[in-house]
Structure 1
Amino acid sequence: MDQPIALTKGSCARLLASAEAALEDSCVLQFLSIKPVGPPAGTSGTAVSRYRIIMSDGDHYIQAMLATQLNHLVVEHKVIKNSIVCVERLTCNYVQGKRLVIILALSVQQTTAEKIGDPQSIDPPANNANNNEGSAANQPRQEAPQASSSKPAPKTAPKPTPARAQPARPNIYPIEGLSPYQHNWTILVRITQKSDMKNWSNARGEGKLFNVTMMDESGEIRGTAFNQVAESLYAKLEEGKVYYVSKARVNLAKKKFSNVDNDYELGFERNTEIEECLDSIDLPVIKYNFVPLNALKEKEKDAIVDVIGVVKDPGTVGEITSKTTSRKITKRDIELVDQSGFAVRMTLWGKQAEEFNPPDSPVVAFRSVKVGDFGGVNLSMNSSSTMQINPEIDECFTLRGWYDSTGNEQSFQAHSSSGIGGGEAFRRNELATISAIKEKTISEDKAEYFSTRATIMHIKEDNFSYPGCPTKDCSKKVTESDNGYWCEKCDKSWPAPEHRYIMSLAVSDHTGQAWFQAFNEVAKAIMGMSANELMQLKDSDNTAYTNAFHKASHQTFNFAIRGKLDNFNQKTRTRYGITKALPIDYKQEAGLLRDLLNTPWGRS
C-alpha cells in the first residue's frame, strides 16, 4: 500500500470558521466515510443519490456533502473509504443553524490509504451573532460569491437599501445543494431565461405554463409554473433580476424538456415564496461556452451549443403550420457571421421572432441553441435558449471591431450540404451491412445514424423531384398559378420553379437490399446534374434522360444514413435518408486494407 499523503492540519476547524481561509491554497483531507443519502419517502427510488462525507485533517473531522457532478468518482470507485483528496472548490450553507460544507471540485491524491491519526469531532458553530464574538462567519449568508473565481468570494453582509430593508434569511442554499430530501431552504438566484406563456392540452385537461432558468455561483436549475400559479408569477419574474425563492417542490428533472445541467428542477406551487432581492448582489450573469461558426459542422444533430455572431441579415417574419398541432407558428430566419468566415442560419420562434428588431448588424450571443442538419448546418432557438443583443462581454467587443473594420466587406461560406452531401459524417470504424441496418430497432422519438458501403441497383424515375421556391434557403414547394409559381412561405410568385430532388434509390451489398432516399444535394452528386437539368432532358431528349439514370446506377458509395420511423396511411415504417454519399476512392481503400493487414488482427 502506498505511503499516505500529508493532510492539511487545522483545515477542518478553519472550514467551520471561514471557508475562504481553508481554501487559500486548497486543502488535502481524508474521507473517513462515504454514505449515500437515499431518495425521500414516497418516491419511486429513482432519485439521484447524494453522498454524505465524513472528512478529516488528521486531528478533527467534520461532515460534508459531495456535489452531484462528483458522484461518478464514488460510482467508479475512484474515491472510497480513507481516500485522500485535495479539495479545490467548495461552498457552505446553514442547515438547522449549523454550517454544512458542499464540495464542488476535488482531485484524487490517493485512492487507497490507511486511516490517518485519531481525529475528533468538531461541533459546528450555531448561526447567530453571539458565537465567536459575532464574527462574519456566523452571520446569515446574504450574498453569493462571484462566479468566475476558483475560490469563493468573501461573504460580507450587504447594506439594506434605505427604501426597503429585507429580513435576514439564515438558510440560503446553493442550487447545487437542493434535492427532494432538503427542506426549509431559500435560494438566491438570478433569472437568466424566461419562456413565453404556453398553452398545454392532454387527456387530463388543459392549461397554461411557463418556465425560467435560474443561476447562482454553484450552478443552474429550471423552474416551472402551471395554471393559476403561472398567471400570478409570470409578470413578477423578469430576466436579469435577482430573487429569493423558497417553498418550491424539488423534482427529478425531465431531461426531455430541458437542457439545463441539473438532475433536479423546481415546481412552483401556490405556497411558493418569491421575492425580489433589492440589495446589491454580485451573482453571476449568463455563462457562455461559445462555438465558432466554422466548428458547427463537427457537432452532431440536436447538439446544444452557445454561439455569438454578427447579424448580417435580420430576415423577415413568416409563418409555418405545425405538423403535430396544425397551429400556425411564427418564425424568423436570421443569418449570423463571425471571424471564421462562415455564415449560419438561426431560426427564432414565436414572440422572439416577432419582437426581434435590433439596430443594424448587431452582435448577438445565443445560449443553448439546437444544431440542425436540414439543408446543411443550421441553428434554432428552443424554450431553454437565451439571446442577448450587444452584450457587454469581451467576445462582443472583439466581433464588433472586426466587423466594422473588415468583416462587413467579406464574403462568407455557408454550411450547406453541397457537392456530395453534408450532415452526419461517414464513420468507417462503424461500417455496417445492409442487413445489420435493417435489423436495428429504431425508437419512435430518436433517429439512428449508420455508415455503410453499398451499390446503387435502381433509381425510381417517376416523381424524382418537386417544384421548389428559388429563394435562397427556402425549399418550400410552389404551386402553379396564373401569375407563375407562388410560394406560400415567401409570399412571392416566380416565372419558373427550381426543381429539387427527392429521389428513391434501391441499394444493395452482399447481405441484402434496402431503399434509401436522396435529397437535393446528395442526389445532385449521384446524378451528376441538377434536378432542373434532368427535367429539361425529360422534356427534350428522352434518350439522354434514360441514359442519365443508367449512368448513375451501379455506382458504389460510402453512405452516411439517417434512419427514422415514419407513419404513413396508419402504418409505421422506417425511412433511411442519405446524409452523405462519398464516391469510392479505390487507392485510399486499398491503402486502408494494407494498413489493416499490418495490425495485430491482420497478423493473427
Structure 2
Amino acid sequence: MSYQLSEGACLKLHHAAPDDREVFDGPYTLQILSLKKIGKHQEGINQPSDRYRVVLSDGTHFLQAMLATQLNEMANDKTIQRHTVIAAERLSCNYVQDKRLIILMALRVLGLPEERIGEPTGLDDRSAGPVPTAPAPAPAPAPAPEKSSQSSNRSAARTNWLPIEGLSPYQNNWTIKARVTQKSELKHYSNQRGEGKLFNVTFMDETGEIRATAFNQVADTLYPKLEEGKVYYVSKGKVNLAKKKFSNVMNDFEIGLEKNTEVEECLETTNLPMIKYSFVTLAELQDSPKDSTCDVIAILKDYTDVTEITSKTTNRNLKKRELNLVDKSGFSVRLTLWGNQAENFVPDEQNPVIAFKSVKVGDFNGRSLGMIGTSTLTQNPDIPESHALRGWYDSSGSNASFQSHSNGGGFSGGGTGGGFNRSDLKPLADMKLEANRITDSEDKAVSFSTRATIMHIRGENIAYPACKDCNKKVVDDGSGWRCDKCDKSWEKPTYRYIMSFAVSDHSGQLWFQGFNEAGVVIFGREADEVVEIKERDETQYNLILYQAVCKTYNFLLRAKRDSYNDNSRIRYGVSRITPLNYKEETDALLDLLDSPWGQQPYNVESNAMEL
C-alpha cells in the first residue's frame, strides 16, 4: 500500500507561531522516522514520567517533536514505531528555556510501510519562528583567558554528556562519551568536484553505536587523534540522517565531523563496552544472503602467506592473505584479509580465537568471508563466547574434522567441485516441487544441486554497465559513466553478465538466473567482449548465443520466493556452474555400481532392479 504524505507540513509547523491554532490543528499525514524514550529530566523538562521523542517526516523535510504523555501507551505497546504512517490530528508548540518544542497531542495510525518514504532533509533551527522575548541579560563578564575557557569546557564535558541513542539532528550543543570500535583507513577519492580524502569511525557507548565521517582537512586533523579501542569526548559535530547504503551500523543517524569538532581523549572508561557482537556460527552462513554482513567468532586453523593479485576491474595490484576458520558447528570457511590488514596480520598464539565484526559474506565455493572497510578483527577477546570456544578446541576440537560450504552447502559426499553435490542431485521437477513449498514469509533461500542442459538464452539484455570498483550499475550522465555508490565517474564502464536462460532435463524445464561468473562459463569470454560483438555485428552475436545452447552443466542453485508486479514466484539463482567432467562422471558411475545399490539382485520377472 502506498501513502501520500502531507508535503510541506513540516516546513509549515517549523515556522508557525505557538498560538497559530489553524496550523497546529492539522490533520497532517506524516511518517515516524524515529521513536526514542528519553529520561525524565532531558529536553529541559522536569516531568514525572518518561517521555518519547519522535522525528516526523512529510517526505520532503523532517522535524523533531515530543509525544504527549497520554500517547505513551501507543509507543509502549508498539502501536506506533519506526516507519509508522500517522494522521497527526493535533499538535502544540511551547518554548522551554528559549527552546522551541513541538508536542504531538493526538494521532491516528494509518499503516506501517517497510521503509522510509522519500528522502527527507532536516530544517535549519535558526529559521524557526520567533522566540518569546526574555528579560535583557546581565552584562557579560570579561572573557577569561583562552586556556581557562578550554579548561572550563573540558570540565563540563566530563560531567555532562549525551548517550548516543539520544542524538538527533535537532541538537546542536551535545557531547558524547564513546569508544572507537572501528576506524577505517584514510581513503582517497576522485569525482567531478575534484579529489579528496575521507575516513570513518564507529563510536559506541552502553546505549548504541553511531558512524562518523570526516573529509579532507578535517580528516587530516582528526585521523591521528582517534585510535581504535580508546574512549573520547566528542562534541560539535553535525548529526544527519544515516546513508544506509554506505553503512551497516544500526542507527538512523550519523555524525559529520567538521572543522570546529572537538575530540578529547577520556581516561575514565568504565561502563563502556569494547564492542557489541551478534555472532552467527559458520554453519549458519549458508542462510546468510550474499553481500550481507555478519559477526563470527572462530578458531584460526591455519593461514596463507601474503600474495599479490591484479584486479580485473581496476588493474591495481592487491595484497591478500587467506585465513582458514573453524568452529563448534563442524564447518570451516575461508576469510580474506586485504591490503595492510593482510600484511600486518600476526597471530597472538597458535590457533587463536578471533572475533570478527561486520565481515562480508561471499558465495565463492559455496560460502566465504571477507574483510571490508567497516570490519574489525580481535584476537582472543575477553568475552564468554571466546572462552567457551577456547575450551572446546583445546579439549576436542583440535582433532575434529570439518566440512566446507563448497560441498553443496555443507552436505558430504562426492562432488565435482565448485559447490556441486552429486549425492544430493535432484531432477528439475522434484526441485520445483520442493521449492514451491517456500512460503512468502520465509526470507531464507534453499540450496539445490542439479544437472541440466541449456536450451535457450534471452539475448536482449545480457549484460549491464558496471562500476569498475564496486560492480554496481552505472549511468551515462553525458560526461561519463557515473556510480552513485562510489561517487565516481568513468570514461567507459566494464560490462558484467546478468542472464536469464531456460534449462531442461528428462523431468521438465525451468528458468535460471545467473550473473557474471555464470556468463563467463557459458560463453567462455568476458561480457565486455560479447557486448562489443553485439553492438558491432548482430549476426555474429546470434551465432555466439546459438553455440552456447544444448550444453549440459552441473548447477548449484539457491531458490528463493520473491514478488514481481505483485505476483509471487520462485527465482532460481545460479551460485555455481561447472561443465561436465566426463572422466569424473564415469568414475562416479563405476563407484555407484560397486555400491550396495549396484550389487542388488536382478529380478528377471519384472525386468527391473529390486529396490
Q: TM-score, normalised by structure 2?
A: 0.51
Question: Partner residue of 1:306?
Answer: 295
CA distance in 1, matches of 2:229, 2:79: 29
Match of 1:72 in 2: 81
8 Å contact kept, 2:447–2:556: no
Q: How has the CA–CA distance of structure 1 residues 558 and 318 changed in structure 2, closer, same or farther, with 3 Å as cutoff?
A: closer
Instruction: Provide the secondary structure at the position in 1 that maps to 2:165.
Output: helix
Q: Which amino acid aligns with 2:156?
A: A
Contact 1:52 / 1:65 at 8 angstroms: preserved in 2? no
- Cα offset, 1:223, TM superposition: 0.8
Q: 1:349, 1:558 → 2: CA distance?
A: 28
CA distance, structure 2, for counterparts of residue 208 and residue 576 of structure 1? 38
Alignment partners' CA distance in 2, 1:269 and 1:431: 53
CA distance in 1, matches of 2:312, 2:69: 56
| TM-score (norm: length of structure 1) | 0.52
Aligned to 1:245, the other structure's residue is in SS state strand
Residue 53 (structure 1) aligned with residue 51 (structure 2): no
Other-structure match for 1:349: 338
After TM superposition, list the pairs within 5 Å mapping 1:482-561 onto structure 2. Answer: 507=503, 560=558
Equivalent residue number for residue 360 of structure 1: 350
Report the counterpart of residue 591 of structure 1 in structure 2.
none
Please list the CA deviations of residues 516-567 of structure 1 after superposition, one character each: whole Å capped at 9, or x if unmatched: 68979xx9xxxxxxxxxxxxxxxxxxxxxxxxxxxx96899995479xxxxx
Give the aligned partner of residue 183 of structure 2.
194
Q: What's the CA shift string for 1:95-115, capped at 9, x where partnerless?
A: 9699x9xxxxxxxxxxxxxxx
Q: Over residues 310-358 of structure 1, what are the superposed CA-to-partner deviations in whole Å (9 max), with x where a residue is unaligned? A: 1011221112223333222221110111111111111111111111111
Q: Is 2:155 the counterpart of 1:167?
A: yes
Counterparts of 1:414 and 1:451, CA distance in 2: 16
Instruction: State the SS of the aligned residue for 1:167.
Output: helix
- 2 CA distance for matches of 1:281 and 1:514? 55
Q: Tell me the CA shift for residue 190 of structure 1.
A: 0.8
2:396 aligned residue = 406
Alpha-carbon spacing, 1:514–1:249, altered in 2? closer, same or farther (3 Å)? closer
Deviation sequence 1:153-192 (CA, Å, 0-9, x none):
xxxxxxxxxx999412365222222222221111111100
The yes-or-no answer on 1:336 pairing with 2:351 is no
- Secondary structure, aligned partner of 1:173: coil
Residue 231 of structure 1 deviates from its aligned partner by 1.3
CA, structure 1 residues 315+80, in 2 after alignment: closer, same or farther (shift >3 Å)? farther
Give deviations 1:391-429, integer Å, cap 9, x for gaps: 111111111122122222222111114448759997868
Distance 1:164 1:292, change over 3 A: farther
2:279 pairs with 1:279: no
Q: CA deviation at 1:285?
A: 1.8
Cα distance change on mapping 1:71 and 1:328 into 2, 3 Å: farther
**Cα distance, 1:75 vs structure 2:** 0.9
Distance in structure 2 (CA, Å) of the matches to 1:263 and 1:423: 41
Tell whether the 8 Å contact from 2:447 to 2:559 is kept in structure 1 after alignment.
yes
Q: Residue 186 and residue 294 in structure 1: after superposition, are their counterparts in 2 closer, same or farther (change >3 A)?
A: same
User: Are positions 1:221 and 2:210 aligned together?
Assistant: yes
Q: Secondary structure at the match of 1:365?
A: strand
The offset of 1:578, in angstroms, is 5.1
Gaps of 5+ in 1: 1-11, 58-62, 83-94, 101-162, 433-447, 461-502, 524-551, 563-574, 582-604
Q: 1:243 aligns with which of 232, 251, 265?
A: 232
SS in 1 for 2:258: coil
Superposed, 1:463-482 pairs within 5 Å as: none
In structure 2, distance between residues paired with 1:235 and 1:66: 42
* Alpha-carbon spacing, 1:284–1:97, altered in 2? closer, same or farther (3 Å): farther
Q: Give the Cα separation in 2 of the matches to 1:423 and 1:223.
A: 43
| Partners of 1:357 and 1:317 in 2: CA distance | 11
- Asked if residue 393 in structure 1 is aligned to residue 383 in structure 2, the reply is yes
Match of 2:247 in 1: 258
Structure 2 SS opposite 1:374: coil
Q: Which amino acid aligns with 2:314?
A: T
* Equivalent pair of 2:187/2:197 in contact (CA under 8 Å): yes
- The amino acid of 1:45's aligned partner reads T
Q: Following superposition of structure 1 onto structure 2, how do residues 109-120 of structure 1 map, counting pairs within 5 Å?
A: none
Contact in 1 for aligned 2:354/2:378 (Cα 8 Å): yes
Which residue identity does 2:178 align to in structure 1?
V
Q: How big is the shift at 1:219?
A: 1.2
CA distance in 2, matches of 1:241, 1:30: 32
Distance 1:258 1:315 in 2: 30
d(CA) in 2 for partners of 1:318 and 1:264? 39
Asked whether the equivalents of residues 555 and 576 of structure 2 are also in contact (C-alpha less than 8 Å), the reply is no
* Match runs of 1:359-438 below 5 Å: 359-418=349-408, 419=415, 422=419
The 1:51/1:315 distance shift into structure 2, 3 A limit, reads: farther
Distance in 1 (alpha carbons) for counterparts of 2:309 and 2:553: 38
Q: Secondary structure at the match of 1:269?
A: coil
The 1:427/1:229 distance shift into structure 2, 3 A limit, reads: farther
CA shift in 2, pair 1:504/1:553, >3 Å:
farther
Amino acid paired to 2:275: I
Q: Which moved more, 1:254-263 or 1:373-382?
A: 254-263
In structure 2, what residue type is equivalent to 1:388? T
Q: Which amino acid aligns with 1:383?
A: G
C-alpha change, 1:259 and 1:556, in structure 2 (3 Å) is: closer
Q: Could you tell me how far apart the structure 2 residues matched to 1:401 and 1:555 are?
A: 44
- When residues 203 and 410 of structure 1 are mapped into structure 2, their CA distance, relative to the original with a 3 A threshold, is same
1:256 and 1:456, CA in 2 relative to 1: closer, same or farther beyond 3 A? same
1:212 aligns with 2:227: no
For residue 135 of structure 1, what is the aligned residue in structure 2?
Answer: none
- For residues 136-155 of structure 1, the aligned pairs below 5 Å read none
* Separation of aligned partners in 2, 1:238 and 1:576: 42
Deviations 1:40-83 (A, max 9, x none): xxxx8355x655212159xxxxx99989x996367167x9999x
Q: CA deviation at 1:305?
A: 0.9
Alpha-carbon offset, residue 241 of structure 1:
1.0
Q: Secondary structure at the match of 2:325?
A: strand
- d(CA) in 1 for partners of 2:79, 2:232: 28
SS of 2:360's equivalent in the other structure is strand
